[in-house]
A and B are shown apart, each in its own frame.
Chain A
């Protein structure tokens, strides 16, 4: 692993060389500050680039990410500091390196400055170290990253802050061979925050990367369980007759923290609970924020209903109102999920259809919004599949995902008393985090005949049944007339 870290910059160099020359000296970074907030499954990185244009009329700024970092990053967003609208990003994947081109809101004049913020969410970036922990031991994780933030442009000063929530940092790497950039000290620690830098006058070109780029790691204790949802299957079924949107999630949960050393002791667990000092790697319950107006919520697993959950519902909010309300569902798995343990379950709920569907009477088009997922705080969803089942006979189906999906497909789903089946749209995603809480929009049309199809077929079936009974009762098949 470590070898790869070292050889990687060599790749970068060859790949970056042409793009660097292309980008040339259009910009200069007066400062780069990278803040890494350590977590369990998720690591939040926000990098601020103080940009100064060296040439007039520049509209595209480029950000470089190492390939490993890009692979870990499941979500990224660039903004002008202080503004809320994200900037347009385009990725260049052609090289071995990732270059993100950001369209600036307006062209910068020479010496014009701008502060850009790149926020990324890294998943599976930490690993437990040691890999096993007994029930009463703390949970220690390790995070590794590159020391220097690479950029196609010269950087006057850059620093990296790594923040751990708990102040208990076991160890961190002290960088070597950085004396030429350092004026005060290469690394400082204050509480749970470790600051690398400031490093001055960095030109991350081929030579530099080969010579100075290095991996730093932080070994820290984390007080919350490291939870991964390995698979999440969401099914959203729209019923016009029932005026109902049913959402069902089948999830397979995995505690990706250090695996349990030895065995689980109920006695210890109960006494930990009693003293309110629960071990950090035990997941005993979690909370979900469901939409308002939820009814008929259920929570079960392969062996039936799990009775240990609480739901506090909030009433539906009027469409367009800014009020943010949630129904809160507190789930407690059948057993506490310790390190390395799994728990699979199904939750589902109904919401009123008018909360998520709107109807355009002019075109006769329905538009439904289905949230991609209901995030569990601090978890990553490795594989997600969202299936939206439209009413029977829906035509002219169009859909749009809030962020790029891995694949989408149309299929037919047959449910209660269907004759032709319902069209269904399926999306697949990878590595979803709480940042991926967008809404999938699907538009469709349902002709009146399709609405009536079910009613007609059911009544026809019943009519024929009664007609048959009527006939059978009045036809005498006896050979011997009495």
Chain B
């Protein structure tokens, strides 16, 4: 028996199976550990803190859930958000995330483990990433085998594309959604393979969980019907498909309608129509099958034609008619922006203003996926080679997700799992091929194997097997067969229990192919190992450097290399929380709404739940108008404090002046007569220095940002470090607002809106009077003297 390296042959199959099972468990445990550990950079470098913006709302909602119970949370009306409108929180969120943390929290407390709710929230995403690794393992196992599954689990565990949304503290819906996505898909594949209503129900249950957890559930809602439809069109309709799909759709849709935020959408919006249509189609096809079993084939063909045409027409006009009558909502704007990337910028600037809704830049594919992006097409091709039903699913998933990932940065997240799966399939096929000790035997294989070490160093190129192939073209067929039959080593069977048959079958037909000698194997395997190592290094580096910043706390490196924390946000929020009236309304741009509500506990006008465009535009208008126009707006909305972010002193580029144009654009969308974007440019340039346009210089935002900024430079030319421009030495003055608090690095500046003047004067006049009074004492006196003289 020719083998490249010896394998132990005295192991019983039971021992091997048990050992393999144990090793898999250990490997999965280690992968889970690595997945969790690599997400803890944020906690170690900073602290256990909720990150960014949306997580602060989720955290706040979870605190309500944990402290007041589920029913209070369900009926929670938050009067402090969207002041004065308020927000019905229970009906406008996906509660899955909060419910999950709430359950974990209560479970831990029931076990007398008094873990802080904050820590539950912070560590939820890493915990679920371990579950995602497991679900991906199960999914890939269905595609190929356990070894591919382990590779896929390892990939998804540490790939930056997923870590970017699931580091510790990134307490967002995506934290649990990717696990649910993968597990739903796994259950769907399982249901489809077995034709099992049980697994179909499990798919539906996890689909329900997904609906309750993330708006991206629409991806599943359309992926599964698409898969079913493609199978149908490929003539692969089976009873199994019918059972799996029907059980999933019926239970899944009914349960998804229990989520208040979703409600009747599954039967009333266009996004969900595909699932309904395929459900109907499957019923028709199944009925057709039934009819075909009872009538002759000629009759059936006529019947089919008539039925297809009439049903197709009825269905089409039915949907069009319902849409027209308003029973079915047409596509939403967010949906259109998936097809036309310019759509949002034109019609819904608020969606376009979010950085994660921008189209993906090419480097970020490599940044987020590293070498998986190269293996990904190979894996998809491998799926084509063994085109079972589940492989079609991966192919569709790959095509759809690739498109969406190109349209929106954020949807990179949905691409990542399929990339990991395909890459794992490709890499594990490669490994299987090159780890398989079976030599394509020739009659002089003994001399060949003795030759190999001597030529090994020089012939370490892929060309070598090809050249050697030619020499022993003949007789290979029989030998190959013999070899594959006699490769009875248990371990090799285990390593490649699925593909070895494929490889064997393949090598039986193309007998001259095969891998010869240790050197070829080592070259390929070491290369793969090298790639994997680089992948790990890359993932670690990207995770620690790019994705582990809470963005609530900034870090900078001081001149001696030490780490310096810039904690201005929390400084300002804490100040607001402790030193202002509890009902003081704070106005800020919507980005900071959730943070103010979460950390400062004060009412806000607008927040990151951007449901009311007009309200946001009102804030935009107030920020971009001159003081005397903005003041009535502020007073009408009971605004006590205005909070802005200013990075000009230390060079923090994410500040409000840089976001200002979006405020202008959004305000312009509602008040095109009063706010015009071009007015804020000076000859096409966006400037804040002495060349700034008058509209810019008079705007509230500009004034608040640079108020007394110049004085900091003690008479020297003040520099805005973000824009790199010299701002005027004579800074702006404020009549209707006064500075209330400025943080240590001037990042957050809070202004108090002055109350009406006690004498009923306009505040501008009152201010002028207050300042002018001093001047009047001296100036008119001298004039009088001059006249007298």
Select from chain A the residue with minimum beta-carbon distance to B579.
Answer: A341
The yes or no answer to B565 lying at the interface (CB within 8 A) is yes
Interchain nearest-CB distance for B25 vs A (Å): 11
Select from chain A the residue with minimum beta-carbon distance to B46.
Answer: A305
Of B310-318, B413-421, B568-576, the one with at least 4 CB within 8 A of chain A: B568-576
Contact bitstring B548-578, A, C-beta under 8 A = 1, else 0: 0000010000000000010100110111011
Chain A positions within 8 Å of B353 at CB level: none
The yes or no answer to B402 lying at the interface (CB within 8 A) is no
A301 to B565, CA, bound (A): 16
Number of interface residues of B (CB under 8 A): 31
Interface residues on A, range: 20 to 34
The yes or no answer to B478 lying at the interface (CB within 8 A) is no
Of A264-272, A319-327, A357-365, the one with at least 4 CB within 8 A of chain B: A264-272
Task: Tell me if A342 and B112 are in contact (CB < 8 A).
Answer: no
A305 to B46, CA, bound (A): 9
Interchain nearest-CB distance for B160 vs A (Å): 25
Of B224-232, B485-493, B523-531, B739-747, the one with at least 4 CB within 8 A of chain A: B739-747
Chain B positions within 8 Å of A304 at CB level: 47-49, 570
| A267-B708, A334-B567 known; A305+B577 contact, CB < 8 A | no
The yes or no answer to B111 lying at the interface (CB within 8 A) is yes
A306 to B571, CA, bound (A): 9
Chain B positions within 8 Å of A307 at CB level: 553, 565, 567
The yes or no answer to A83 lying at the interface (CB within 8 A) is no
Task: Tell me if B567 and A416 are in contact (CB < 8 A).
Answer: no
A334 to B570, CA, bound (A): 8
Task: Tell me if B708 and A301 are in contact (CB < 8 A).
Answer: no
Interchain nearest-CB distance for B641 vs A (Å): 11
A416 to B577, CA, bound (A): 31
Task: Tell me if B575 and A414 are in contact (CB < 8 A).
Answer: no
A416 CB contact (under 8 Å) in B112, B575, B599, B744: B112
Task: Tell me if B114 and A414 are in contact (CB < 8 A).
Answer: yes
B746 CB contact (under 8 Å) in A266, A342, A344, A416: A266
Task: Tell me if B738 and A263 are in contact (CB < 8 A).
Answer: yes
| A264-B740, A266-B743 known; A303+B570 contact, CB < 8 A | yes
Select from chain B the residue with minimum beta-carbon distance to A270.
Answer: B712
A188 to B741, CA, bound (A): 45
A367 to B208, CA, bound (A): 57
The yes or no answer to B78 lying at the interface (CB within 8 A) is no
A306 to B49, CA, bound (A): 12
Chain B positions within 8 Å of A266 at CB level: 741-744, 746
Chain B positions within 8 Å of A340 at CB level: 579
Interchain nearest-CB distance for B555 vs A (Å): 10
The yes or no answer to A335 lying at the interface (CB within 8 A) is yes
The yes or no answer to A318 lying at the interface (CB within 8 A) is no
A329 to B739, CA, bound (A): 33
A416 to B570, CA, bound (A): 30
Task: Tell me if B579 and A416 are in contact (CB < 8 A).
Answer: no
Task: Tell me if B111 and A417 are in contact (CB < 8 A).
Answer: yes
Task: Tell me if A415 and B114 are in contact (CB < 8 A).
Answer: yes
Task: Tell me if A263 and B570 are in contact (CB < 8 A).
Answer: no
Chain A positions within 8 Å of B290 at CB level: none
Task: Tell me if B599 and A303 are in contact (CB < 8 A).
Answer: yes
A443 to B173, CA, bound (A): 50
Pick the most buried of B579, B708, B752: most chain A CB atoms within 10 A of its CB: B579
Chain A positions within 8 Å of B575 at CB level: 334-335
The yes or no answer to A343 lying at the interface (CB within 8 A) is yes
Since A266-B744, A302-B577, A418-B112 are in contact, a sample of 17 more A-B pairs with Cβ atoms closer than 8 Å, ordered by chain A residue number, is A264-B740, A264-B741, A264-B742, A265-B742, A266-B742, A270-B712, A302-B574, A303-B570, A303-B599, A305-B47, A308-B567, A334-B567, A334-B570, A334-B571, A335-B571, A335-B575, A340-B579
Can you sample 28 A-B contacts with CB below 8 Å? Answer: A263-B738, A263-B739, A263-B740, A264-B741, A264-B742, A265-B742, A266-B744, A267-B712, A270-B712, A302-B577, A302-B599, A303-B573, A303-B599, A304-B49, A304-B570, A306-B567, A307-B567, A334-B575, A335-B571, A335-B575, A335-B741, A342-B578, A343-B578, A344-B578, A414-B114, A415-B112, A417-B112, A419-B112
5 smallest beta-carbon distances between A and B, as pairs: A266-B742, A305-B47, A334-B571, A342-B578, A303-B570
Residues of B within 8 A of A (CB): 47-49, 111-114, 553, 565, 567, 570-571, 573-575, 577-579, 599, 708, 711-712, 738-744, 746, 752
